[in-house]
Structure 1
Amino acid sequence: MRIFISTGEVSGDLQGSLLIEAIKRQAAGLQLEIVALGGEKMAEAGATILGNTSGIGSMGLIESLPYILPTLWVQRQAIAYLKQNPPDLVVLIDYMGPNLGIGTYMQQHMPQVPVVYYIAPQEWVWSMSLRNTSRIVGFTDKLLAIFPEEARYFKEHGANVSWVGHPLVDRMQNAPSRLEARGKLGIESEQIAIALLPASRRQELKYLLPVIFQAAQTIQAKLPQVHFWIPLSLEIYRQPIEEAIKRYGLRATVVSGLQKEVFAAADLAITKSGTVNLELALLNVPQVVVYRLNSVTVWIARKILKGSIPFASPTNLVVMKPIVPELLQEQATAENITQAAMELLLNPDRRQQTLADYAQMRRCLGELGVCDRAAGEILQMLLGTGD
């Protein structure tokens, strides 16, 4: 039986790989072929990759322009493959642009093939109109929600929804302890370890890295026992990041494949907004979240689309309250980042409050076994026993 999975960006590749491992665990004795749009992690988990989409992704209107053609090409490639090799089931993971096209194609040309949407686009947070929500509900036979609010929203709009919980609950379960992680990285007990997470998309090297590194420079001057750790999301970012470390004179180490160790060892993180915020929260690491977009994108969103989002970081979105400081656009200055970081490092009460809020947030992410629950639902649909 053939499952086709479509996702993109670094986080989608990770979630796809965790799902594939869970499907394989549960599909004992079933001959499965998994073909995907994804990246290296999904390939390692056993998928045949049609197109590598881990580097194709952006946030914002102007920022997305360079990716329009690659996205259309990937979408066409996927549809051409599906036409020639009809799957038994399609799983879409986030990645709204291509997946709306693929889902609509399946609905129009292969309505008999079940489509499962796992980790739906965050329409429940920033939907400007119900058009995309209606499309998603229209072509999706089963929506596997990771947030309670997401499940409620799509259920209200007519989707067949199961809330499975957030897959990072499973992933962070086998993270090392703080002591193990610091031992592995060679961090002395008196050293303050700060994780810097400036980029998983190319645009973030331009908009986020300079301001985060400026703040790091100031923090380093104030606290001589600080050392920065930068886990790479993609190896192609190593060179620009290492050049920037030299330029800003930072005491920093770039590592590859040791993200969980860096997180577990860190006293604090200064990070872009994204899934990584939840990983840090699950390991009890206080964090300052930073995001900036092209000023034209922001102007269009504010003036023309009249868009406003309650929060940018998933950590805050889950409980709809400001657990971690978010410094967005004009607020994302080196001074503000430094101030928020120093407060979390040096004020024990502020730190304790963050950890207490993390505990509350964690309860909204579901119980262990998320990927197995999602895989179980998918296999039920595949074998025709799902609702």
Structure 2
Amino acid sequence: MRIFISTGEVSGDLQGALLIAALKRQAVTAGLELEIVALGGDKMAEAGAMILGDTTGIGSMGLLESLPYVLPTLMVQRRAIAYLKQNPPDLVVLIDYMGPNLGIGSYMQKHLPNVPVAYYIAPQEWVWSIGLRNTSRIVGFTDKLLAIFLEEARYFRNNGANVSWVGHPLIDRMENAPSRQAARSQLGIADEKIAIALLPASRWQELKYLLPVIFQAAQNIQAKLPEVHFWIPLSLEAYRKSIEAAIKDYGLRATIVSSQQKEVFAAADFAITKSGTVNLELALLNVPQVVVYRLHPVTVWIARKILKGSIPFASPVNLVVMKPIVPEFLQEQATPENITQAAMELLLNPERRQQTLADYQEMRQSLGELGVCDRAAKEILEMF
């Protein structure tokens, strides 16, 4: 059985790899042989997919921010559609990556209507209140939508989709994370040292809009707590030089690590992070955090004034339970001063820290039970 999987960016590559491993496990049980072809990255390739196009570096948030990626996105989308035309698969699985996947899904609906399409981790239309056009398209070409959030499941079910809620795959991924003690031992961090994780970027635009404000806040914290050391796990090796230069410019005592993100998270006392999947990973390891996000001012103006868009929260941690578990500083509020103040409170105020950990436990209950990836894989294989 040939499965075509389409996803993009760093987080999509991770989720795709977890799903591929589960599909292979479930295929053995079902007596199936799988051939998996994909748009994705190195992690999916390691899991056993033949990668048709590397999409980990093609992605952005925002309108103006996405312009440099329009041509590369169209090219990889056309390559995928040309492949599908010549080699119709038995099943298509779309993971997030809204722009290209809307095009691929629409192509399947029009030209290969007999090939079932599953959408796993649907675009967050349930968060953005900017009309139903994309929602209608997703519902139209999707035979089964596998939701990872309860609110996502409710939203798409209410809009006519065939939905199964499987839970969040990070529940599976973080189950094997090292203990704080083991992680600190591996990274060489003494028990008494304050370790802060900095997570400024998984997209190029974030190096421009987020790294300076996060590093300025880190500089402020370092001045107040001289014993602190910062740890920066790379999401892509291509960002190393930019981050090394910034560490030097801001005079930070910081270490960059590759391929040890879980160890850094498990060892950390605190994190300053961009909004994204990493927020949930940190929460599942009980690491207090401050979440930051900025887009180009013109993008924000268009979203607010013309598209009339609004979001209740940016961080998935807060979205899961629709309450402010972790501080979020977005756009104008994302200043070094605001980040520093919130960080110092979470680092030095035991009551504030304990409240965060209690709220994390509440959030954890809404993410489902272990075995998420295998549940999703079973649902997908049942579509053959």
* Structure 2 partner of 1:385: none
Q: What is the CA-CA distance between 1:26 and the residue it aligns to?
A: 1.1
Q: What is the CA-CA distance between 1:302 and the residue it aligns to?
A: 1.1
Unaligned runs of 5+ in 2: none
Q: What is the CA-CA distance between 1:42 and the residue it aligns to?
A: 0.2
CA contact (8 A) 2:129 2:310 kept: no
Report the AA paired with residue 325 of structure 1: P
Residues 298-377 of structure 1: pairs in structure 2 closer than 5 A = 298-377=300-379
Q: What is the CA-CA distance between 1:36 and the residue it aligns to?
A: 0.1
Q: What is the CA-CA distance between 1:287 and the residue it aligns to?
A: 0.2
Residues 160-239 of structure 1: pairs in structure 2 closer than 5 A = 160-239=162-241
Residues 40-79 of structure 1: pairs in structure 2 closer than 5 A = 40-79=42-81
* Partner Cα separation in structure 1 for residue 162 and residue 304 of structure 2: 33
Find the residue that maps to 1:26 and give its secondary structure: helix
- Identity percentage of aligned residues: 85
* Partner Cα separation in structure 2 for residue 103 and residue 49 of structure 1: 19
* Structure 2 partner of 1:15: 15
Alpha-carbon deviations, 1:130-150, whole Å to 9, x = none? 110010000000000000000
Report the AA paired with residue 63 of structure 1: E
CA contact (8 A) 1:137 1:159 kept: yes
CA contact (8 A) 2:7 2:40 kept: yes
Q: What is the CA-CA distance between 1:290 and the residue it aligns to?
A: 0.3
Of 65, 71, 84 in structure 1, the residue corresponding to residue 86 of structure 2 is 84
* Partner Cα separation in structure 1 for residue 276 and residue 209 of structure 2: 15
Report the AA paired with residue 340 of structure 1: A
* Partner Cα separation in structure 2 for residue 54 and residue 157 of structure 1: 30
Alpha-carbon deviations, 1:27-53, whole Å to 9, x = none? 114221100000000000000000000
Alpha-carbon deviations, 1:147-172, whole Å to 9, x = none? 00000110111110000000000000
Residues 272-287 of structure 1: pairs in structure 2 closer than 5 A = 272-287=274-289
* Structure 1 partner of 2:118: 116
CA contact (8 A) 1:12 1:93 kept: yes
RMSD: 0.5
* Partner Cα separation in structure 2 for residue 313 and residue 76 of structure 1: 32
Q: What is the CA-CA distance between 1:18 and the residue it aligns to?
A: 0.1
Report the AA paired with residue 27 of structure 1: A
Q: What is the CA-CA distance between 1:100 and the residue it aligns to?
A: 0.3
Residue range with higher mean Cα deviation, 303-312 or 279-288: 303-312
Report the AA paired with residue 4 of structure 2: F
* Partner Cα separation in structure 2 for residue 31 and residue 16 of structure 1: 18
Report the AA paired with residue 273 of structure 2: T
The answer to whether structure 1 residue 159 and structure 2 residue 181 are counterparts is no
CA contact (8 A) 1:5 1:92 kept: yes
Instruction: Using structure 2 for the length normalisation, give the TM-score.
Output: 0.99
* Partner Cα separation in structure 2 for residue 338 and residue 31 of structure 1: 53
* Partner Cα separation in structure 2 for residue 359 and residue 101 of structure 1: 38
Report the AA paired with residue 148 of structure 1: L
* Structure 2 partner of 1:295: 297
* Partner Cα separation in structure 2 for residue 189 and residue 154 of structure 1: 46
Q: What is the CA-CA distance between 1:127 and the residue it aligns to?
A: 3.8
* Structure 1 partner of 2:101: 99
Alpha-carbon deviations, 1:294-322, whole Å to 9, x = none? 01101111111111100000000010000
Q: What is the CA-CA distance between 1:223 and the residue it aligns to?
A: 0.4
* Partner Cα separation in structure 2 for residue 227 and residue 265 of structure 1: 12
The answer to whether structure 1 residue 25 and structure 2 residue 58 are counterparts is no
* Structure 1 partner of 2:255: 253
* Partner Cα separation in structure 1 for residue 254 and residue 284 of structure 2: 24
* Partner Cα separation in structure 2 for residue 356 and residue 169 of structure 1: 17
Find the residue that maps to 1:271 and give its secondary structure: strand
* Partner Cα separation in structure 1 for residue 152 and residue 210 of structure 2: 28
